[in-house]
Each structure stands twice: as structure tokens, then as C-alpha cells.
A = this chain, B = another copy of it.
Amino acid sequence: MPTNNRTQNPIGVFDSGLGGLTVVKEIIRHLPFEQIVYFGDTARVPYGTKSAETIIRYAREIVGALLKYKVKMVVVACNTASSLALDVLKKEFDLPVLGVIEPGARKAAAVTRNKKVGVIATSSTVKSGRYADKITACDKKIAVTSMACPLFVPLVEEGWFAHEVTYRIAREYLKGMKKKKIDTLILGCTHYPLLKGVLHDVMGPRVQLVDSAREVALEVKEMLATSGLLRASSSRGRQRFIVTDEPKQFERLASRFLGEGIKDVRRHIYV
């Protein structure tokens, strides 16, 4: 094996906080031999209520930090950052950058039968209109209904995954979706897969929930394969975790998203 082999370099994954770990989980499942460096911007979380200009600035800083780990590609595992900053990152950085919007939009366009797709996401993601753009780019006949659900993230962080209040709030937010008779609902925020039970109950069994984490992992695999960057190894890849706030809280909550515990989270001060 030649030295300085880029295939051995890690995949960089970032999110505003913990949610992106749902994407890491799928990457590990589909690409167990890859190394991963995860960056969670916990000192500035959440992104979903902030402006495009601010999110672009944060995303740029984070990709800069990930480059120090010699990442071979970057996955923007945050819907808000994908909606607002992906184009800028692709233009400014000379490495493959993948967001979570397109894979989710494509999947939804593929599975809808009645051409009525719903998107739930943060305020900033909904305001960006990126999901609707990408879905109609797949199929102009699809009607997209979007709804910002700002209370879902705090409910997940409070751990109220199946609380009566969560059901009540979900019924309120999803009223319009039900009325429009959507048959496919995109979970447009990496926190929302933890509310799948509630969302499934509220929307009913005929509505398919699209969680883009799996699609993103498959696209990472394809991108690495086509650019000859898949890691050749017989040993499982290592994951490293970097956060901007105190690591302890991140370690404590990570298993909710990752499905397994982590430790040795490092802290990055971004100034």
C-alpha cells in the first residue's frame, strides 16, 4: 500500500449538534471499514432558526476544521446547513461534499404514488424551499406541502419521544398534511427519526416516512466507489467525535442517536 493513500483518510461528517449521528449510524452500517470524523457544533446549536449568512459562516469554519483531519469527503448531515450552505461549500472547497436534501428528495419522489409529498423541517430549511425545489426537479407533477415544526427538536432533546404532549403537538403541526392527503412524509431534520413512532401513529399506516440517513449512506458509498476512494481494509473503521461545547453532555446523549455509546469526545474551540 502506498503511503499517503487518500483512501485511508476519514469521511468528515458535520451537524449543528447530535442529530447528524443518525447519519453516522447508517454510514457505519453500510461502510463499516471507513474512518469517520464527526463534528458537532454544540456551542452554537441549533441552526434551524438562524439566518443563511450565519449558517454559511459556521459551515465554512467547520469544513476548514475537518480538513485538518485530512477528510476525503464531507457529509453535511444537517438539513438546515444542507439547505443553506451546500452550494457555497461545493464551490469553495476542492473535495466531494454531500448534503442530505437531495437523497431524501429523490427517495420521496420515487416512493410517492399519489404525487403528494409532505416535508417537515426546521424554520430555516422550510424557508429555503430546497426540498420542494429538489422534489419537483425529479418530477414536476409532485405537489409539495412543507411545515416548520420548531418544537420537535426540543421535544427530542427533552426525551419526550412518545409523550402525550408530543402526540398533541404532532397532530397540530401535521393537520395541514393530513388534509392535503400526502402519502409520503420527508423527515427533514436529523432529530425527527427519533419521533418516527409518533409521526407514524399520527399520519396513519398509509403514509410512508422518508428518513434520508440510509439514502445518504448509500450515496456516500457510491461517491467513494466512483472516485476510487473506498477504504481498502479488513479492520473496522474508527470514529472520532469533535464538539464545540463541553463533551460530557454530548457523550451522554449520543447513544440516543447512534444506537451505541461513545467516549473520548474531543473539544474544538472555533476561534
Indicate if the CB atoms of B154 and A246 lie closer than 8 Å.
no
Contacts of A49 in B (CB 8 A): 45, 157, 249
Question: Contact residues of A with B, CB < 8 Å?
Answer: 42-45, 49-51, 53-54, 150-151, 153-155, 157-158, 164-165, 168-169, 172, 244-246, 249, 271
A172's closest neighbor in chain B, by CB? B165
- Give 18 A-B contacts (CB < 8 Å), ordered by A residue: A42-B50, A43-B44, A43-B50, A43-B54, A44-B44, A45-B49, A51-B245, A51-B246, A51-B249, A54-B246, A150-B154, A150-B157, A151-B155, A151-B158, A153-B154, A164-B168, A165-B169, A165-B172
Q: How many Å lie between the Cα of A157 and that of B46 in the bound state?
A: 13
Smallest CB–CB gap between A244 and chain B, Å?
8
When C-beta atoms are compared, the residue in chain B nearest to A46 turns out to be B46
Nearest CB in chain B to that of A248: its residue: B51
Set of chain B residues within 8 Å of A50, measured between Cβ atoms? 42-43, 245-246
Q: How far is the CA of A146 from the CA of B104 in the complex (A)?
A: 42
Distance of A42 Cα from B245 Cα, bound (Å):
17
Q: Is B168's CB under 8 angstroms from A158's CB? A: no
Q: Which residues of B contact A150 (CB under 8 A)?
A: 154, 157-158
In the complex, the answer to whether A245 meets B155 with C-beta atoms within 8 Å is no
A172 to B168, CA, bound (A): 14
Beyond the given pairs A43-B54, A54-B246, 10 more chain A to chain B contacts, judged by CB atoms under 8 angstroms and listed by A's residue number, are A42-B50, A44-B44, A49-B249, A51-B245, A51-B249, A53-B246, A54-B245, A151-B151, A151-B155, A165-B169
Q: Which residues of B contact A249 (CB under 8 A)?
A: 49, 51
Within the assembled complex, what's the spacing in Å between the Cα atoms of A191 and B126?
25
